[in-house]
């Protein structure tokens, strides 16, 4: 089991729930299949993961934790107030549990990095135990993880192992995150001390290598191998090293190299889902494509538009291509070889009778989709029900009829082994008929009301009926007088905010907003509305740049 702990840099663009226009390379995380828990970390007292991160983690079957941290003299004073009475502890626990429930994340990393006065240690232990119970009452699968910092005597003294000085905290929560400067012999002792809970011991690994075994960086795999071979879990801190210290223009290649080195020490996770839709996006685009057409030519970052990427370990050498896409900002590509075979997903998709499947690809004459089922059978879809060429992309659709209750467990593609071109995959959807509405009825106008705020921003409030299409998203573009589009952002919420827009006195100077509501199941345009607003084209943006 592995935890990934984000650091400051990872958070710069991700907090924008509608996404943002990004003209510089930006950090993003999309290797969800290689981790089990994601911690959204900052040095604020309480850190709540942004909605887009919560949705993205949960979609990929990953638990996501917030952070409760106290540090230095200010942290010592906070702890003194928090632990002054049982009532204070109870109020804090109730507040933290309420935040978890309200925002739908999965628990907390507790990091007390300041000394605790001895008379308050017992109450600190009670705080940890009560928080675990409160979170567990809301969600039995919630997690409270203790960071190896303060000892049972109240000293700020990192142990780098599980021992009698931090074990009392371990015993009342779900796991311990060990400090980074451990030695192998201390890990061996930690395993003995943990007993049956050895997988609840998370070995701290700093990607920056600060005092860490192996030195971090691309040698992070050395520390991972130690935790893995000793049957302990791992906690990887500060993946932003890839972005902060290396050429940002080479981020995708460096990210691939880094995670390929770690992959042997991770566990294969299976995607459990009712249906599958992916347009192979990492949440970033240099441009925005719709059905193969380059509609908007501005770069963007948006976690709401991140979709599933291949999750089969150790076999595929696929790359993300941001210069081409069927939908969104990217596709994946791989070099065809003599195997004539490419594994895409390990999954569990239940099918009761009928299933609709769509596959979109290019640079090869044909691809055969293969599905394996939990009853041991497999099926090659040699013949599609319909084929179309859509702006140089080949789109194949299938209607699969199965007369028994089964689940798809593996998705692969086959191709002619004599082909040696680079194959691009742009879209894949697998939807049991029961999981989505086949007939999409035309809807009334998308916008219910428009609100002008005091800072000249605009809030578009959408009609309630958009929530009747849960597997859908609203995309917002702005179109200038030359029919050029820019992508402002995307949302699954009931509103969209356009920030820092300046009202123009001359009503001749206006922009056209193009609001589109798409079904993710089929990429069908459900509805579109065009809105003329008295605002200059170059004033509009879909995120607030203040304090960025």
> Closest by alpha carbon to 380, among 339, 414, 342?
414
Per-residue confidence (pLDDT) for residue 511, from 0 to 100:
78
Identify which has the larger pLDDT, 244 or 372.
Answer: 372
Report the range out of 18-32, 124-138, 335-349, 463-477 with the highest average pLDDT: 124-138
Q: How confident is the model at residue 438 (pLDDT cuts 50, 70, 90)?
A: very low
Q: pLDDT tens digit string along 106-164? A: 999 999 999 999 999 999 999 999 999 999 999 999 999 999 999 999 999 999 999 99
Q: How confident is the model at residue 500 (pLDDT cuts 50, 70, 90)?
A: low
Q: pLDDT tens digit string along 520-545? A: 878 989 999 999 876 666 656 555 44
Per-residue confidence (pLDDT) for residue 314, from 0 to 100:
62
Tell me what the mean pLDDT of segment 360-378 comes to.
95
Per-residue confidence (pLDDT) for residue 439, from 0 to 100:
52
Per-residue confidence (pLDDT) for residue 6, from 0 to 100:
85
- Beta-carbon contacts of 124 under 8 Å, excluding residues fewer than 6 positions away, are 79, 83, 112, 116, 150, 154
> Closest by alpha carbon to 2, among 187, 215, 268, 275?
268
Tell me what the mean pLDDT of segment 51-55 comes to.
92
Q: Tell me the pairing of strands 485-491 and 525-533.
A: unpaired
Say whether 272-435 and 2-267 share the same fold.
no
Question: Does residue 35 have a pLDDT over 70?
Answer: yes
What's the chain's average pLDDT? 90
What's the rounded Cα separation, in Å, for the pair 144 and 107? 6
Residue 376: Cβ within 10 Å count: 8
Q: What is the largest CA-CA distance in the chain?
A: 75
Per-residue confidence (pLDDT) for residue 509, from 0 to 100:
64
Per-residue confidence (pLDDT) for residue 547, from 0 to 100:
44
What residue ranges do the domains of the chain occupy? 2-267, 272-435, 447-539
Identify which has the larger pLDDT, 497 or 135.
Answer: 135
- pTM attached to this predicted model: 0.92
> Closest by alpha carbon to 221, among 210, 209, 231, 211?
209
Long-range contacts from 417-421, C-beta under 8 angstroms, 24+ separation: 417/337, 417/338, 417/339, 417/340, 419/336, 419/340, 419/364, 419/365, 420/335, 420/336, 420/337, 421/336, 421/363, 421/364
Per-residue confidence (pLDDT) for residue 189, from 0 to 100:
98
Encoding tokens for residue 496?
């969209």
Per-residue confidence (pLDDT) for residue 444, from 0 to 100:
73
Range of weakest confidence among 19-23, 109-113, 504-508: 504-508
CATH H-level superfamily of 447-539: Immunoglobulins (2.60.40.10)
Domain 2-267 has CATH 3.30.300.30: no
Question: Does residue 502 have a pLDDT over 60?
Answer: no
Per-residue confidence (pLDDT) for residue 548, from 0 to 100:
42
Tell me the three-class secondary structure of 49-112, residue by residue.
CCHHHHHHHHHCCCEEEEEEEEEHHHHHHHHHHHCCCHHHHHHHHHHHHHHHHHHCCCEEEEEE
> Closest by alpha carbon to 501, among 463, 545, 531, 462?
545
Question: Does residue 506 have a pLDDT over 80?
Answer: no
**DSSP letter at 523?**
-
Task: Enumerate helices (H) and strands (E) in the chain, giving the number of each.
Answer: 9, 34
Encoding tokens for residue 136?
């567990």
Would you say 156 and 193 are in contact if contact means Cβ atoms under 8 Å apart? no
What's the rounded Cα separation, in Å, for the pair 49 and 61? 16
Per-residue confidence (pLDDT) for residue 305, from 0 to 100:
94
The share of the chain scoring above pLDDT 90, in percent, equals 72
CATH H-level superfamily of 272-435: Galactose-binding domain-like (2.60.120.260)
Tell me what the mean pLDDT of segment 322-347 comes to.
93
- Beta-carbon contacts of 57 under 8 Å, excluding residues fewer than 6 positions away, are 32, 38, 49, 63, 64
DSSP H stretches of helix in 139-234: 167-171, 184-194, 220-229
Question: Does residue 417 have a pLDDT over 70?
Answer: yes
Report the range out of 21-35, 292-306, 435-449, 470-484 with the highest average pLDDT: 292-306
């Amino acid at each position: 089991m592995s935890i990934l702990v984000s650091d400051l840099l990872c958070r710069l663009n991700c907090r924008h729930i509608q996404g943002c226009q990004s003209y510089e390379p930006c950090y993003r995380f999309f290797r969800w299949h290689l981790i089990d828990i994601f911690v959204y970390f900052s040095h604020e007292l309480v850190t709540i993961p942004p909605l887009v991160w919560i949705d993205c983690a949960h979609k990929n079957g990953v638990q996501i934790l917030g952070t409760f941290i106290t540090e230095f003299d200010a942290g010592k004073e906070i702890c003194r107030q928090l632990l002054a009475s049982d009532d204070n502890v109870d109020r804090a626990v109730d507040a933290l549990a309420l935040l978890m429930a309200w925002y739908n994340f999965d628990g907390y990393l507790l990091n007390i990095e300041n000394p605790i006065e001895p008379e308050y240690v017992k109450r600190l232990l009670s705080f940890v135990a009560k928080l675990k119970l409160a979170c567990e009452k809301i969600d039995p699968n919630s997690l409270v993880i203790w960071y190896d910092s303060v000892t049972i005597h109240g000293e700020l003294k990192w142990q780098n192992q599980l021992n009698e000085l931090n074990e009392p905290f371990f015993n009342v929560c779900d796991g311990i995150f060990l400090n980074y400067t451990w030695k192998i012999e201390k890990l061996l002792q930690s395993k003995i001390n943990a007993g049956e809970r050895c997988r609840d011991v998370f070995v701290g690994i700093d990607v920056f290598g600060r005092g860490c075994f192996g030195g971090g960086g691309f040698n992070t795999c050395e520390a991972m191998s130690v935790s893995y071979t000793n049957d302990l879990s791992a906690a990887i801190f500060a993946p932003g090293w890839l972005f902060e210290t290396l050429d940002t223009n080479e981020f995708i290649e460096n990210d691939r190299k880094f995670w390929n080195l770690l992959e042997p020490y991770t566990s294969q996770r299976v995607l459990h889902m009712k249906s599958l839709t992916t347009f192979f996006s990492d949440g970033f685009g240099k441009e925005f494509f719709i059905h193969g057409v380059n509609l908007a030519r501005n770069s963007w970052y948006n976690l709401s538009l991140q979709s599933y990427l291949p999750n089969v370990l150790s076999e595929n050498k696929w790359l993300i291509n941001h210069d081409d896409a069927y939908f969104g900002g990217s596709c994946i590509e791989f070099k065809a070889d003599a195997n004539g075979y490419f594994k895409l997903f390990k999954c569990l998709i239940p099918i009761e009778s009928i299933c609709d499947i769509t596959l979109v690809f290019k640079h090869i004459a044909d691809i055969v989709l293969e599905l394996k089922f939990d009853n041991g059978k497999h099926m090659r879809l040699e013949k599609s029900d319909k084929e179309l060429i859509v702006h140089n992309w080949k789109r194949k659709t299938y209607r699969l009829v199965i007369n028994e209750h089964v689940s798809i467990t593996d998705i692969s593609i086959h191709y002619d082994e004599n082909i040696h071109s680079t194959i691009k995959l742009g879209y894949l959807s697998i939807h049991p008929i029961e999981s989505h509405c086949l007939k999409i009825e035309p809807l009334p106008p998308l916008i219910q009301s428009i609100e002008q705020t005091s800072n000249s921003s605009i809030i578009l409030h959408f009609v309630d009926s958009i929530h009747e299409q849960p597997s859908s998203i609203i995309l917002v573009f702005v179109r200038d007088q030359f029919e050029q589009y820019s992508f402002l952002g995307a949302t699954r919420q009931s509103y969209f905010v356009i920030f820092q827009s300046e009202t123009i006195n001359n009503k001749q100077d206006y922009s056209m907003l193009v609001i589109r509501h798409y079904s993710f199941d089929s990429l069908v345009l459900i509805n579109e509305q065009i809105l003329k607003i008295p605002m200059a084209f170059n004033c509009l943006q879909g995120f607030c740049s203040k304090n960025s």
